[in-house]
């Protein structure tokens, strides 16, 4: 594992979220430490992130690239009159912009 300084941005229709800090990179994954909204620490792994990142020209040891995650979510379904009929599962794709520098 190598130590890196990272910046991960997620753009969506509500704005952007950006995470920065120090993490670790393996041959395939970016591993970072996070804190939940309730204050609980956890480890976040961006799987297969390294293969999509490429070196930035004229910047030694810096890489950037996209990372995609597919999540399955449940949404409420309603009929024509607005009555609840159950839940439907859908897959959504989340795109991140990943940038890191080897320390």
Which pTM does this prediction carry?
A: 0.77
Return the structure tokens found at 49: 């992130």
**Contact criterion met (CB below 8 Å) for 67 and 52:** yes
Cα-based distances in Å from 19 to 5, 38, 63, 91: 11, 17, 16, 24
- The number of helix segments (H) and strand segments (E) in the chain equals 0, 7
User: HSE-up of 9 (CA within 13 Å, CB side)?
Assistant: 8
Q: What is the reported pLDDT for 85?
A: 87
Rounded to 5 degrees, φ, ψ at 40 are -90, 130
pLDDT on residue 80 = 83
Per-residue pLDDT of the chain (103 residues; tens, 9 = 90+): 999 999 999 877 777 789 999 999 999 999 999 998 899 999 999 999 888 899 999 999 999 999 998 989 999 998 888 888 889 999 988 889 999 999 9
Q: How far is CA 40 from CA 18, 21, 36, 37, in A?
A: 19, 17, 5, 7
């Amino acid at each position: 594992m190598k130590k890196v300084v990272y910046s991960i941005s997620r753009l969506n229709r509500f704005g952007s979220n950006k995470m920065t800090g120090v993490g670790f990179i393996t041959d395939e994954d970016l591993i970072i430490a996070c804190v939940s909204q309730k204050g609980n620490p956890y480890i976040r792994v961006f799987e297969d992130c390294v293969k999509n990142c490429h070196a930035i020209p004229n910047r030694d040891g810096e890489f950037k690239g996209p990372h995609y995650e597919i999540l399955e979510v449940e949404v409420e379904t309603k009929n024509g009159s607005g009555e609840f009929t159950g839940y439907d599962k859908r897959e959504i794709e989340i795109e991140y912009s990943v940038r890191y520098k080897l320390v």
